[in-house]
Amino acid sequence: MSDCIFCKIIAGEIPSDKLYEDDEIIVFRDINPQAPVHFLLVPKKHIAMPKDVSANDDKVMGKLFRVAAQVAAAENVADNYRIVLNNGAKSGQEVFHIHMHILGGKEKPWPI
């Protein structure tokens, strides 16, 4: 998707503070952090939002949880993070390329 900001980050056309990358996903810090540790896990495949996940995406979506734990540990918030995936503009989704938020280092963070 040529007008997608996260596709541009994946392509290296827009810089990001990258924490992890492999052939399927990229992980980078949120530009506007809402917690002491706030990073995003993004499948490289352009999926617009959680409702668009298909059976083919089961593996990569599972990987997001595993790598989230790995990066959270590296960021010293292994036992203190909240996972958020927004689905749709009304829920607060602003970037329509699926992403998992990890909000770490906050106490009792509901609501953010």
List contacts with Zn ion (CB under 5 A).
1, 4, 6-7, 46, 97
For 94, other C-beta atoms within 10 Å of its C-beta total: 7
Is residue 5 a contact point for ligand 5GP (CB under 6 A)? yes
Is residue 16 a contact point for ligand 5GP (CB under 6 A)? yes
Is residue 46 annotated as a catalytic residue, yes or no? no
Which residue in 38, 97, 99, 101 is the catalytic one?
Answer: 99
Site string (24-53) toward ligand 5GP, x via CB under 6 A: ----xxxxx---------------------
For 98, other C-beta atoms within 10 Å of its C-beta total: 26
- Based on the number of CB atoms within 10 Å of its own CB, is 55 exposed (0-12), middle (13-18) or buried (19 or more)? exposed
